[in-house]
Amino acid sequence: MPAPVEIPAAVVADVDGTIAGADHQVSPRTLDTLAALERRGVPVILATGRSEANVLAIARRAGLTTPAIACNGALVVDPVSGDRLRVRTVAPADVSTMIELHRRTGAALTWWTPEQIFVTSERLKAELAQLGDGEIEVVAAPEPPPQDVLKIMLNGTAAQLDAIGDIVTEALPRVTRSLPTFWELSAQDGDKWGALEWLFRRLEIDPDGVLGIGDGGNDVRWLARVGRPVAMANAHPSVHEVAVAVAGHHADEGAAEFLMQEVNSWPEVAS
């Protein structure tokens, strides 16, 4: 007799490299899949490095009602009301260190506030615009450091960032490689796990009952702390090391395929 299917207490999904395709868009099929999860009573928590406006747009297109995580954990926002439920900013001293690293290494710099994204080059503006984020302004590195930074990142080619890795991590051990082209810093408790831990308490969700799906090195910390971590086929090797299952490639709507198979395996709800 087959074991009973356990419906997860929640589903947590990264966006880029996970539910977003190679074109950085979340397809209608994937949006429908996320909606199907919530119709079955399973909260869907988007957890992404994208801006507040961007994650709200995705959540609202899918009709999600569960709070979403933006800026890699610095913001938790309610997609229904638009209220910011939790905000964590980077310490000014750490912002200053990132600015100094930008000047020392020549890597481009971007810093994000709740309302806007700032960059130091037109090339970086174009790269971020591909993700659908608006309100991007090209300016020089700020002095003195701003007080409302949600996250701050150094940008360059993967090879350029590899070359400066030792310098960056020695200056700021908490820095993470969120994508091949970014070294990223958030507040001490402003990462995805910090936001998820807070949100799980608020929603009375046991992390052991959560299904999480992601692809990046910055997803490892939180995936390792939920009951069923799932890696995308395109995920970083460190994600595969903590995963108990693997979904298809993000370019082939692998997350939608995996999650819809999950929904279809659940027992029918009695009418």
Q: Evaluate whether 230 touches 213 at the Cβ level (below 8 Å).
A: yes
Q: Evaluate whether 18 touches 259 at the Cβ level (below 8 Å).
A: no
Check whether domain 92-186 has CATH 3.30.1240.10, yes or no: yes
Confidence of residue 133 (pLDDT cuts 50, 70, 90): confident
Pairing mode, if any, of strands 182-186 and 75-77?
Answer: unpaired
Nearest C-alpha neighbor of 26 from the set 79, 72, 63:
63
Give the Å distances, CA to CA, from 228 to 77, 126, 211, 246.
Answer: 24, 36, 5, 11
User: Taking phi first (over 0 means left), then psi (-120 to 50 degrees means alpha), and beta for anything else, what does residue 47 get?
Assistant: beta
Q: Given this chain, do its domains 10-87+190-265 and 92-186 carry the same CATH topology?
A: no
- Mean pLDDT across the chain: 93
Q: Cα dihedral sign for 235, 239, 241, 245?
A: negative
Nearest-5° Cα angle at 108, 106 to 113: 140
Count other C-beta atoms under 10 Å from residue 83's C-beta. 10
With a cut of 60, say whether residue 194 has pLDDT above it.
Answer: yes
Confidence (pTM): 0.89
Q: Evaluate whether 85 touches 76 at the Cβ level (below 8 Å).
A: yes
Over residues 35-44, the pLDDT tens digits come to 999 999 999 9
pLDDT at 188: 86
- pLDDT mean over 77-85: 97
Q: Evaluate whether 91 touches 109 at the Cβ level (below 8 Å).
A: no
Q: Evaluate whether 128 touches 181 at the Cβ level (below 8 Å).
A: no
Domain 10-87+190-265 fold is Rossmann fold (3.40.50)
The DSSP secondary-structure symbol of 190 reads: -
3-state secondary structure of 35: helix
User: Taking phi first (over 0 means left), then psi (-120 to 50 degrees means alpha), and beta for anything else, what does residue 6 get?
Assistant: beta
List the domain boundaries for the chain: 10-87+190-265, 92-186
How far apart CA 32 and CA 147 sit, in angstroms, is: 39
Q: Angle 28-39/52-62 helices, nearest 10 degrees?
A: 70
54: exposed, middle or buried (Cβ count in 10 Å: 0-12, 13-18, 19+): buried
b/e 170-195 (16+ beta carbons within 10 angstroms → b)? eebeebbbbbebbbbbbbeebbbbbb
Over residues 169-184, the pLDDT tens digits come to 999 998 988 778 899 9
pLDDT at 76: 98
Over residues 208-233, the pLDDT tens digits come to 999 999 998 889 999 999 999 999 99
